[in-house]
Amino acid sequence: MWLKHFQMLEPQKSTLVVDVTYLCNAECRYCQWGNKETPGRISRSLKEILIPTETLTNLGIKRIVISGGEPRLHPEMESILRYYSNLVDEVIIMTNAYGLTTTEIEKLLNAGATGFTVSLDSVDIMESFLTRSTPSHLHKEILSSLEDIFKTPRNFEFGINSVISHITANWTTVSTMLEFGRKIGV
């Protein structure tokens, strides 16, 4: 049974999630940032994003998760990564993986990222369309890109975040997602 491959997770480090932008190139039906009519769909300024060292220290923060909308759309992403990578142990980017390539991952790692969490609700093309309006060709590109990332040597954290909804809340979808994660080393 596939459950034997899973192990207990270590306790999480003190983590702070920093939303850097509310722009998004996905149209997830369950997220306000996927709707182009939502007010406030902007990138936040560096002044808002770069939390002072003293604050991070006082909170005991060891891990920053860069989120949004789609954080890779922020025009100063590399500056944000450089800043936080000098202050904490881990800097994770939570991304929808639209257009994500091994080249971009390398660039973001060089700027200070230590890992990536990809939001993926289903490996099924129709379910992905129903939850995120993802065109089939883009969904195939995302899955292929994730498989390419698995094939390259990596020394960074890599995970998948899935939203379970009325569309994906079934054993077939969940078990297929778990199997896909196992296949790509997540």
pLDDT tens digits for range 141-160: 999 999 998 888 878 999 99
> Is pLDDT above 70 for 128?
yes
List phi, psi (to 5°) of 183. -60, -35
**Is 92:117 a contact under the CB 8 Å cutoff?**
yes
Minimum mean pLDDT among 2-11, 30-39, 56-65, 72-81: which range? 2-11
pLDDT of residue 1: 41
Mean pLDDT taken over the chain: 90
pTM above 0.75, yes or no: yes
How far apart CA 21 and CA 139 sit, in angstroms, is 23
Report whether 126 contacts 168 (CB < 8 A): no
Provide, rounded to the nearest whole percent, the portion of the chain with pLDDT above 70. 94
By percentage, how much of the chain surpasses pLDDT 90? 77
Residue 4 pLDDT > 80 = no
> Per residue in 15-46, pLDDT tens?
999 999 999 999 888 888 877 788 888 899 99
| C-alpha triplet 163, 42, 146: angle, nearest 5° | 40
